[in-house]
């Protein structure tokens, strides 16, 4: 999916006075993962709060919530898991990607 991109500080990415656009699937996934429900006032049920799940050691619940949120956002989720090193692996793309 193409969209307006954020920089590393999660602020609008601007180059030569213009907004930067590009492939944004990973950016959308990151925004869903780090934000809580209610963070997006127009869509209060969106957000996963992955850090909260990890602090509670609810990995299974995190993976289920991630799947539901990504599908709800229009992604086709092929797989999500956490490997032996604790790394989150996501294979999900938007339907038109």
Domain chopping of the chain, boundaries: 26-94
Residue 48 CB neighbour total at 10 angstroms:
21
What pLDDT, in 10s, does the model give residues 10-54?
Answer: 999 999 999 999 999 999 999 999 999 999 999 999 999 988 888
State in Å, rounded, how far the first CA of the chain is from the last one.
5
Residue entry with tokens 């993976």: 63
User: Which of 9-13, 45-49, 73-77, 93-97 has the least mean pLDDT?
Assistant: 93-97
pLDDT at res. 1? 86
- The pTM for the full model equals 0.85
pLDDT of residue 58 exceeding 90, the answer is: no
């Amino acid at each position: 999916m193409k969209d307006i991109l954020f920089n590393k500080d999660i602020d609008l990415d601007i180059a030569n006075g213009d907004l930067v656009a590009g492939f944004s699937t990973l950016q959308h996934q990151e925004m869903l993962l780090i934000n809580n429900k209610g963070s997006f006032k127009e869509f209060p049920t969106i957000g996963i709060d992955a850090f909260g799940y990890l602090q509670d050691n609810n990995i299974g619940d995190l993976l289920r919530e991630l799947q539901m949120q990504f599908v709800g956002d229009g992604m086709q989720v092929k797989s999500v898991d956490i490997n032996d090193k604790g790394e989150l692996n996501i294979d999900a793309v938007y339907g038109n990607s």
